[in-house]
Structure 1
Amino acid sequence: MSQGDVNGYVLSGVVIPEEVLVHLVSFADLPTLLACRLVCRVWRELVDSQALRRKLKREGHRYHSSRAVDVSADLPLDLYCSIFDKDPYGRNLLKNPCGEEGLKHWTVLRDGGDRLVVETAPGGCDPVPAEAGGSSCFATSYGDCSKEQWVDLVRAGVPARVLDGLRPAVHVGEWYANRFDCGAMYSLTVSLCDAGRVALVQHTCRKQMADGENTSWTKKSHIFENYPVGVRYVRFCHKGVDTKFWAGHYGAKMTGSFVILTFLRDKSGCGCEDSDNDGPTSGDEVVSLDSSSCEDFFSDEFSSEEDHS
């Protein structure tokens, strides 16, 4: 195939208008489009500059990622490929965020008191908000309770070149609450880690709640931007305990945990509103440490202020 003097391409002696050819090619699946790129320079330019963009613009409603990128923009090839392959942007990369599968996909770090449990209907506080995506929650006890989940960003479908070159915003958070009749302590620490699972930057929220202070659920969120090159994992770790040492599950409750990647400045379209983005120089702690050290937060003194970085 060659590009003729007219606005079109010559294929077997027949001139096909460029708009028609782009439209037809854009219906091919990703493996076919990638194969077409290898034919010649003309095909590569056709696929890269027009066909992939046309395909995403037409089929974007099928992909969560369409809420996290500008579908009308000319995007890098790696970004198109990751969208059509595993669709990793604009959706929650954490599994079992509300406990509807018990503790599956979570690793329990501390299981004190009467142990960490899942409440299908939260006890002693308001129902879980619909925005959280479920009706159940995790409830902590009178002994330290904590758990974590690691997100392998490359395995989730985000190419290393996208992470290092484009550095999508990483929006993290969850909802937390406590009972009407007992105070509680709550903490959330999220770390962006390198390939060796060493934290490069992290954000921590701590909250001490009096009896009935937070029965209506509070959404806590943060956006990582302009983070160091080399991020490959997200470590999401939350913890809670009650303040009265009561038997049962009177400690902090958590639900609707999320890790969402987006490229849009206006992040409301992918559920990334209500963030408290402080930027990497003020709200995030740039660290180089063994991420297991995050487990020791109960030895720190809790403050009545909500955020400590």
Structure 2
Amino acid sequence: MSAAEWKKKCESEWGLQGAPMPDCLDWKSVYESRPLGRNLLKNPMPYGLSKDNPPPEPELPEFPSHGPPRFEPDGDFTSWTTNIEVLPYDTSGIPEGVVVCALPQYSWFTTEQVVDLIAEGLWDKLLDEFQPEIVVQDWYEESQLHESIYQLHVKLLGADKSKVIAEHTVSPKEDCSIHSHKWKEVSHVFSGYGPGVRYVHFQHRVKNSFLNGFFPTKFSGSSVVVKAVKTSP
């Protein structure tokens, strides 16, 4: 196929009529990279769990653990940058004079990725002028571990990664009196974000607990998808 034919194929299959389609691009490579409609995050299920199946029930230890507290969950976190923040013990709700034998030790487990939109096959004029929707989605495991077990922070960044053009943050509160142990969806659509976006910084945190055993909060199905839909200014 000629360059013009590859360009036409991209335009028609992705519904890009009216979008800037520069002739200088290698449209065959753009088509083969499939930058629109696919998940641009790598390794979206590091725990090996699908959101289409219920999360596994936690295994209660037969005997209390006498070793040091554990804070890092099991999983393959290739492509993710990870960090662990161990939180101080919360003694605020304990009346004065009460003897406490053990308290849960909580930690935040942060995982993040930076998506290079140009490297994934998108082009400057499409992002700056057409401004396709950028859809972020994530699923985390509902639990009664704590009222705050999940946080999401996504930023659209400029070319030097220092300028934040748009961002979205969510920190849902859990109703610990209700427990159905399902995956809970978190999503956001970036639209009308303005010119200059070149990167998507995806970061989420899940809370883990250690008390006579390690109890992590898992996530699955994380995604960043650019859709061939023109956003409103």
Provide the TM-score with structure 1 as the length reference.
0.52
The offset of 1:246, in angstroms, is 3.1
Amino acid at match of 1:70: G
1:47-58 pair list within 5 angstroms: 47=4, 51-52=5-6, 55-56=9-10
1:74–1:170 Cα change, 3 Å:
closer
Where does 1:125-274 land on structure 2 (aligned, <5 Å)? Answer: 142-179=106-143, 181-183=144-146, 184-198=148-162, 199-211=164-176, 213=179, 215-242=181-208, 246=211, 248-264=213-229
Q: Which runs of 5+ in 1 are unaligned?
A: 1-27, 35-46, 61-65, 114-140, 266-276, 281-309
What fraction of aligned residue pairs are identical, expressed as a percent?
30
State the Cα distance separating 1:174 from its structure 2 match: 0.7
C-alpha contact 1:187 1:206 (8 A) present in aligned 2: yes
**Residue 110 in 1 paired to residue 84 in 2?**
yes
- Amino acid of the structure 1 residue aligned with 2:155: S
SS in 1 for 2:172: strand
May I ask how many residue pairs the two structures share in their alignment? Answer: 183
Rounded Cα–Cα distance in structure 1 between residues aligned with 2:130 and 2:122? 11
Displacement, 1:110?
Answer: 2.4
The structure that is helix-richer by fraction is 1
Q: Aligned partners of 2:173, 2:77: CA distance in 1, in Å?
A: 25
Off by >2 Å, runs of 4+ in structure 1: 51-57, 73-83, 109-113, 181-184, 210-214, 244-253
* CA 53–255 in structure 1, closer or farther in 2 if over 3 Å, else same: same
Query: Match of 1:238, as an amino acid?
Result: H
Offset at residue 215 of structure 1 (A): 1.3
Distance 1:196 1:182, change over 3 A: same
Structure 1 residue identity aligned to 2:218: K
Residue matched to 1:70: 15
Q: C-alpha distance in 2, partners of 1:168/1:80?
A: 20
Distance 1:56 1:155, change over 3 A: closer
Q: CA RMSD in A?
A: 3.1
Q: Does 1:84 align with 2:48?
A: no
Aligned residues of 2:142 and 2:184 also touching (Cα < 8 A): no
C-alpha distance in structure 2 between counterparts of 1:162 and 1:54, whole Å: 15
Change (3 A) 1:164 1:239: same
d(CA) in 2 for partners of 1:148, 1:107: 5
Question: Mapping of 1:1-16 within 5 angstroms?
Answer: none
Q: What is the CA distance between 1:75 and its match in structure 2?
A: 5.2
Q: Distance in 1 between matches of 2:222 and 2:205?
A: 12
The aligned amino acid for 1:220 is V
**1:177 and 1:253 in contact (8 A); partners too:** yes
Letter aligned with residue 256 of structure 1? G
Partners of 2:137 and 2:171 lie apart in 1 by: 13
Distance 1:83 1:248, change over 3 A: farther
Q: Which has the higher contact order (CA 8 A, sep 6+)?
A: 2
User: In the aligned structure 1, how far is the partner of 2:150 from the partner of 2:207?
Assistant: 7
Per-residue displacement from partner, 1:222-267 (whole Å, max 9, x unpaired)?
100010211111000000225x7535443432111000001237xx
> Does the 8 Å contact 1:168/1:262 carry over to 2?
yes
- Alpha-carbon distance between aligned partners in 2 of 1:247 and 1:222, rounded to the nearest angstrom: 37
